[in-house]
Amino acid sequence: MMKKTLVLGASTNPERYAYKAVVKLLQHGHEVVPVGLRTGKIEHVEILTNNPVIKEIDTVTLYVGPQNQPVYYDYILNQIKPKRIIFNPGTENPELEKLAQEKGIETEIACTLVLLSLGEY
């Protein structure tokens, strides 16, 4: 079954990993919700702003550095309530990891692009 994924830190810049992750997730048939600071599109999908509350998110994949994550704690943990959070390279954050695990949210330190390429997403 395909997982509904929220990409936090989405950008319209094709050079950014968050952009590449949205494209790859779409190519693999996943439903993707890109959330970023600015509106725009990745492929045919609108980037949402202002922390929209989306239901039934399986995975939040992070593309926001740890120094910028605290403003999203409540949003991720109490509003989105995903089944898992993927900390992509450079987003590792022991504090958020601990808070997520306390709420029963699985955490994974991995690269979404690598997981997809290995068929392990």
Q: What pLDDT is attached to residue 54? A: 96
> Which DSSP category does 3 fall into?
P
Q: How does DSSP classify residue 50?
A: S
Please give the structure tokens belonging to residue 63: 């593309």
- Quick one: DSSP state of residue 76? I
pLDDT value at position 1? Answer: 60
Q: What is the mean pLDDT of the chain?
A: 97
Determine the structural domain holding residue 101 and report its residue range.
4-118
CATH, residue 99 = 3.40.50.720
What are the structure tokens assigned to 12, written together? 């319209």
Provide the domain count of the chain. Answer: 1
Q: What is the pTM of this model?
A: 0.97
